[in-house]
Amino acid sequence: MCQRLELFAEAIVAIDGSKLKAVNHRDRNFTSAKLERRMRDIESSITRYLEAMDTADRQVPAIAKVRTERLQDKIAALKEQMRGLKEIEVQLNAAPDKPVPLTDPDARSMKTRNGGSWVQRADCG
């Protein structure tokens, strides 16, 4: 004989609090403070390279040319990084209350139990 207990109403809600290790690395997770710091570092590096190019201009022409070309390549790479950071800044301004993860949109920084370090986790629930 089977007895029906009627323990649940018509709607059933299930909550899963599983947390899985995310694919997103901490360096690919941006907050506004982290973005500002990285942009400031890039600007500082560009300034240093421009000063080094001024110094190279006063050296022997053959050496100066090689050094100047290398520095120009570095400056171009930094400007490309800065363009990428400007795109991330637009995303951050669209979602100012949370960090912008570049690899895994569900990734969040969470403290671990051992020692209070931070790890990227995907919240599945």
Alpha helices in the chain (DSSP H): 32-57, 61-94
Residue 6 lies in a domain: no
- Summarised one tens digit per residue, pLDDT across range 45-104 is 999 999 998 888 787 787 778 888 999 999 999 999 999 999 989 888 887 667 777 776
Task: Quote the domain boundaries for residue 53.
Answer: 20-123
Residue 96 lies in a domain: yes
In contact, 81 and 45? CB cutoff 8 Å: no
| pLDDT tops 90 at residue 107 | no
Residue 59 lies in a domain: yes
How many domains does the chain divide into? 1
For residue 33, what pLDDT band results from cuts at 50, 70 and 90?
A: confident
- Summarised one tens digit per residue, pLDDT across range 15-25 is 766 666 656 66
Tokens 């089977």, residue located: 2
In contact, 122 and 19? CB cutoff 8 Å: yes
Residue 40 lies in a domain: yes
For residue 117, what pLDDT band results from cuts at 50, 70 and 90?
A: low
In contact, 82 and 69? CB cutoff 8 Å: no
Q: Give a three-class secondary structure readout of 99-114.
A: CEECCCCCEEEEECCC
Residue 52 lies in a domain: yes
| pLDDT tops 90 at residue 123 | no
Instruction: Give SS3 for 22.
Output: coil
Residue 14 lies in a domain: no
| pLDDT tops 80 at residue 113 | no
Residue 107 lies in a domain: yes
Average pLDDT over residues 16-41: 76
Residue 114 lies in a domain: yes
What is the pLDDT at residue 124?
A: 45
